[in-house]
Chains A and B, each alone.
Chain A
Amino acid sequence: KQEVTQIPAALSVPEGENLVLNCSFTDSAIYNLQWFRQDPGKGLTSLLLIQSSQREQTSGRLNASLDKSSGRSTLYIAASQPGDSATYLCAVPKTSYDKVIFGPGTSLSVIP
């Protein structure tokens, strides 16, 4: 059974710092991996999707990498801003037709 964990559970950094969020999964047979952002009381917003054949994806100050063999993905946020404060979640489906398993999330606080 696929299990997804995220470390750290919470993170507080001063504005301007570069930071890394981690996502680990126990079953490397994944179809893709998606990173989401969730603001308090709101729905999820997709940040990046990495297909299983890819190693990384970039969007602006965000870079996500995927290492299937080790069951890990990292989300790198460059030059963090207070507006980046949110909970970040990763999610994996085993196949495109399978259910999606989410990690518990990392709560990020960027201090001005």
Chain B
Amino acid sequence: EAQVTQNPRYLITVTGKKLTVTCSQNMNHEYMSWYRQDPGLGLRQIYYSMNVEVTDKGDVPEGYKVSRKEKRNFPLILESPSPNQTSLYFCASSPGVAGVSDTQYFGPGTRLTVL
């Protein structure tokens, strides 16, 4: 089944404890992206990647890191999480060889709480 998977789905952690949220797609998509969704602020893009080893900042990249060593994986890294990073996170991918020229497919989301 073609899909975008994220792990973990739910995570409660404490301030400063490094964490990684994994994202994987099995559709051989070129484009991948991370978003966060907050009440009243909507969905905002954190980072995106056009292809392996190519990443760019979205609207809210501060406090996050990403890597794209393989086409299928795009992990989101929080080196020192803070409470303001408590949010619902979504990974997405798109087949477009020219960036986000095609439909984006979203993962199920990761609900992160930082205490």
The residues of A with any CB-CB pair to B shorter than 8 Å are 31-32, 34, 36, 41-46, 49, 51, 89, 91, 93, 95-105
Contacts and interface: CB of A to CB of B under 8 A. Distances in A.
Which bracket fits the contact residues of B?
20 to 34
A49 B100 CA distance: 11
Contacts of B102: 49
A95 to B, nearest CB: 7
A96 B101 contact: yes
B100 A96 contact: yes
B107 A43 contact: yes
A32 B107 CA distance: 21
Interface stretch (B13-21, B44-52, B62-70, B71-79): B44-52
B106 to A, nearest CB: 4
Nearest to A1: B59
A60 B32 CA distance: 28
A91 B35 CA distance: 12
B59 A32 contact: no
Contacts of B106: 36, 43-45
A44 B108 CA distance: 8
Interface in B31-65: 33, 35, 42-45, 48, 50, 56-59
A98 B80 CA distance: 27
B104 interface: yes
Given A34-B104, A49-B103, A99 B45 contact: yes
A42 B111 CA distance: 11
Contact of B109 (A34, A42, A51, A93): A42
Contacts of B103: 34, 46, 49
Interface in B77-112: 90, 92, 96, 98-109
Nearest to B31: A96
B96 A100 contact: no
